[in-house]
Structure formats: C-alpha cells, structure tokens
Chain A
Amino acid sequence: MRNMWTLYHKEMLESLRSYKLIWVPVVFIILGIMQPLTTYYMPEILKASGNVPPGMLEGYEMPGSAVVMAQALGQYGTIGMLILVLGVMNSLAGERSSGTVEMLMAKPVAPAAIVSAKWAAQLTVLVMALGLGAAGAAYYTEQLMGPLSWSNLAAAAGLYGLWLLCAVSLTLLFSAWLRGPAAAFLGLLAAAAMSLAHSLLPSQLGWTPASLTAMSAEMMTEGGGFAWGPVLFAGILIVACVAAASLLIRRNQLPE
C-alpha cells in the first residue's frame, strides 16, 4: 500500500513536470465553455459566414440550458477522450520500451501496485479535467441560457467520466503489451466499437458501458434514467483491465 502511494506520487510528479496536470484541465475547460458560447452566438456566426438562407435565422430558437450542458459534456466524448487516451498510451509501454520498469520490478514492488498507481494518476487527471471543465461549462451555460440543476449536472458528469475512464483503462491494458500508439489506437477502437454496437442495438446492449453517454445526457436534461447495469459493467470492465494489465506487465516487463 505504501509502495502504491510512492508510485502514485511519482506519477503525479511526472504529470506536473510535463505540465499535463495543467494543460489537460485547461483544454477541458476551453472545450466545455466553447459549447455554450458557440450556441449563444450561433446566429451571429451564421450571419457572419454569409450565404444563410433567408428565414432560417428567424426560426432559430435558443436551446434550453440543460440541453446545452448535455451537449457540452458530449464534447468530451471525442477530443476529450482522444486527449486522455493519448495521455495514457505510453504509461506502461514507455516504461517497458525505455527499460525503467526493470529496475522498478527489481525492488520489492507488486506489478498490481505499479498498474494501480498509474491508473489512479490517470483518474486524478480525469477527475480534475472533467470537474473543472463541467463546472466552467455550467457557469457559462447559466450566464447565457439560464439556471441548471447542479445535482443533475454532478450525476451526468459522473456518468460521463465513468465512460471516459473505461476508455482510459482499456488503453492502459493495451499499453501493458503493445507500443504506445498501437495501444491508443486499440483503446479508441474498442470504445468506438462499443459505441457503434450500442447505437445499432440499443435495446439489446443497454447494459454496456457505451450507454453511459446517453444516460448522462438524459440525467442532465430529464433528471432521471439511471440504471445500474452500465455502471456495474463499466466497473467490472475497469477492474478487469487493471488486473489483466498487472498480469501482463509481470510477463512483458523485460526488454529482450
């Protein structure tokens, strides 16, 4: 346990020195507040771009604050996920390819402690980024569109964060036996495949973690729609990823 804390501390120090602890949250805040801003100024933007069919601007209706907030969270599903996945892809792969893991494993350290510490550090970055990003987006939405339910927002952000954590955990697993870029590719592919499967068969695959995004949006706009299935399966997926990564890193630790 103490080793895990030492390793976690090392991960966080690296995040700080590489500015990751600053730039990822800043990007998430920018992504979050851009959504209400662009929605608010959409008529101006359209007008400025010219060739708008007449009558279209008159029909433009400002969406409600909850809808805009749900859209803001949706922004994190693409660029946000990409940033997080690229940030985790080298966490184990880099230690393997550079050889730093060899001296780590020669110390009385359990592979599970190494993987868990890395996972916890990624989670910390994710929570900071999503927390600040969602708070920023909510502030802008309230200023521009109207009041929001902050309890709904917290639940919606939590559900969205769980989905992002699934993608991060999958990438961490692939990072235990592949090179970084391949791990990122497979991590994103797995998340995309889950989303696609879920959108094709929404009723049959309602229990998969991929339905967390829709659940998050519903939670934001309607204040309900919570189901245990996807949350439970997301939890199982994440634990399985960390456990499998621990087993793999024990086997793949040494450079040939």
Chain B
Amino acid sequence: MDEIKWGLIGPLLALQALLAVIGLISLGKAERTRGPKWLWVIILIFGNLLGSVAYFTVGRKDN
C-alpha cells in the first residue's frame, strides 16, 4: 500500500456528498422538521454518513 488509491476512495467521498446534497434538497422542500432546520443543515454538511442517515430517518415529519 504505497499510495492512496483515489480511484476507490473518490467514489466513496462522492457518495457521501451525494447523500448530503439529497438531504439538503429534501430539507429545502420539507415543511416541517424535528428540530430547527439550520441544525439539520449543519448535521447534513458535517455529520458524514450518520448525520445524513439521522436526517432521513428521524429528521423529517411526515405529512
């Protein structure tokens, strides 16, 4: 393992970013969230995988 294999790590980072972007789009459209929206923005941007999962599972209020 002489060097970092960006060809493999790159897609991982891209998927993480994709998840955060989808979360932000969804947050923008959501009428109601559990907790303040700005907090979810921070969680989505800096919270990595678990932050995004937390938003999608418990962050939104249905209907």
Contact = CB atoms under 8 A, between A and B. Distances in A.
A27 B16 CA distance: 8
A87 B57 contact: yes
B49 to A, nearest CB: 6
B8 interface: yes
Nearest to A23: B56
Contacts of A20: 56
Given A26-B19, A31-B49, 13 more contacts: A22-B22, A23-B19, A23-B23, A26-B15, A27-B49, A27-B53, A37-B8, A40-B1, A41-B1, A44-B1, A83-B53, A87-B57, A144-B5
A27 B1 contact: no
Dominant secondary structure at the A interface: helix
In order of increasing CB-CB distance, the 9 nearest A-B pairs are: A86-B57, A23-B56, A30-B15, A19-B22, A26-B19, A19-B26, A26-B15, A30-B49, A94-B62
Interface of B: 1, 5, 8-9, 11-12, 15-16, 18-19, 22-23, 25-26, 49, 52-53, 56-58, 60, 62-63
Interface of A: 18-20, 22-23, 26-27, 29-31, 33-34, 37, 40-41, 43-44, 79, 83, 86-87, 90, 94, 98, 140, 143-144
Nearest to A89: B57
Contacts of B23: 23
Contact of A79 (B8, B18, B25, B53): B53
